[in-house]
Amino acid sequence: MMADKTRSVIIAAIALAAACHSPVFAQQDQDLLEIDDEKVMEEVIVVAPRITRETPLDAMGGLIVERDEILDITDLDLTRTADLLVLEQRIEDAATRICNELDSLYPLGSPRTLVCIRRAVEDTMAQVEQAVNEAFARE
């Protein structure tokens, strides 16, 4: 299950998007709708970086590798809490898969797998917030 902090970010994104539908934000909503008609967010990308320990010429050397997984969100209605929870689980599952893969490929790398998963999930939340805002703007 995802950390409470991450769940709070998702709930805050929903609340912010819902608040933007008040009359005070009407003009901003129109601008968002015009932009959204041209491009609708269809996916989020979960990225997990890992620093590997190499033995290059200098002692401080290392290589940053990363894996990512693209998650299709076109089947979700991001104005619904239930679908946001589904997306949350998909992100956590993808982060777990790619961080475990990085750990298998680069066992001496960092960060640790649990830290990798947490960071990958947290970094994906900006995309989720954008997708939620776009979903509410289309309503």
How is residue 70 written in tokens? 């693209």
pLDDT at 89 over 70: yes
As a whole number, the mean pLDDT across the chain is: 77
pLDDT at 101 over 50: yes
Q: What is the pLDDT of residues 13-66, one digit of tens each?
A: 554 444 444 333 333 333 333 444 446 688 999 999 888 765 554 455 678 889
pLDDT at 122 over 80: yes
Residue 24 phi, psi (nearest 5) = -60, -35
Which helix (H) or strand (E) element contains residue 139? none
Please report which confidence band the pLDDT of residue 139 belongs to, taking 50, 70 and 90 as the band edges: confident
